[in-house]
Amino acid sequence: MESWTVKHFSQANPSGTGQDDVPALLRRVADSIDSLGLAEVQDLVMHTEITADGPWPSLTVYFRDVED
């Protein structure tokens, strides 16, 4: 049986003013994905936490290293 490991990271904007800026979050995550090098993204999951400063979205990126 073949198997492989999926890695992941989660990312959000800094808390406070602008924490709910989804386009900024998407740009930050895109930069992080670019920095992974040869990686294949398997899934993206968006979450939103409600804080005293308002909604605070985050993205979890599931990926695998192409070289593995």
Per residue in 21-54, pLDDT (tens digit) is 999 999 999 999 999 999 999 999 999 999 999 9
In terms of Cα–Cα distance, which of 1, 8, 3 is closest to 64?
Answer: 8
Amino acid at 8: H
In this prediction, residue 68 has a pLDDT band, given cuts at 50, 70 and 90, of low
- What's the N-to-C CA distance of the chain in angstroms? 17
Stated pTM of the model:
0.87
